[in-house]
A = this chain, B = another copy of it.
Amino acid sequence: MPGGEGLGEIRGLLIVLSGPSGVGKGTILERASQRLPNLCHSISATTRPPRPTEEEGRNYFFRSPEQFEQMRQSGEFLEWARYLDYCYGTPRARVLERLREGRDVTLEIDVQGGKQVCAQFPDAVLIFVLPPSEEALRDRLLARNTESEEALDRRLRAHREECKHLADYDYAIINDRLEDAVELFCCIVRAEKARVRRLVRNE
């Protein structure tokens, strides 16, 4: 597409990771990055207030609802979604830049966001992380100890809703033993990079 308004030459892999809060997506990505140095994680913008351990620009870009809305209206988001009480969005420019550099970019987003990404990047790899059981997920959320019982129940209901979209995803990782989940994630990335249709296109 010479001189066009397209996506430019995308050489990296765009990887979407979805799944309920507390299932271990962040930890899987952190560990996988240690093994796959080409991987980089996209930081989302959110209207959710930071948790005690979270840092601006490392976990999220924390924005006011007004700031977020302004970003959304000016088309700065690759995808965005309202999830429970807050909004989350992926800043588009940085992701595209990294993909053009040949980096593999991970997005930790919900199923609504996954659908938006898939529509724009049909070659994106969609991975859903599942807990071994709903009880296991509840235990992990309780251990995080940042929410009321009511908020926790809402998260579990949201999870059940999200699971209905599993069929839109390419791969499922059941996070039972963390090391196995990390290993499987790395395998998926390596395998996807050996796909003939990607290699032929990048020649």
B171, B195, B200: the one contacting A195 at CB < 8 Å is B171
Instruction: Give the size of the chain A interface in residues (CB under 8 angstroms).
Output: 22
Contact with B along A159-203 (1 / 0, CB 8 A): 000000011011111000000000110111011101111011000
The smallest beta-carbon distance between A176 and chain B, in angstroms, is: 13
Question: Are B166 and A191 in touch, CB under 8 angstroms?
Answer: no
Asked, given contacts A171-B191, A184-B191, whether A166 binds B196 with beta carbons under 8 Å apart, the answer is: yes
Closest B residue by C-beta to A195: B171
Oligomer copy total? 2
The smallest beta-carbon distance between A155 and chain B, in angstroms, is: 22
A80 contacts chain B at the CB level, 8 A cutoff:
no
A128 contacts chain B at the CB level, 8 A cutoff:
yes
A-B contact pairs, 9 of them (CB 8 A): A166-B200, A170-B195, A170-B196, A171-B196, A183-B190, A187-B187, A188-B194, A190-B191, A191-B191
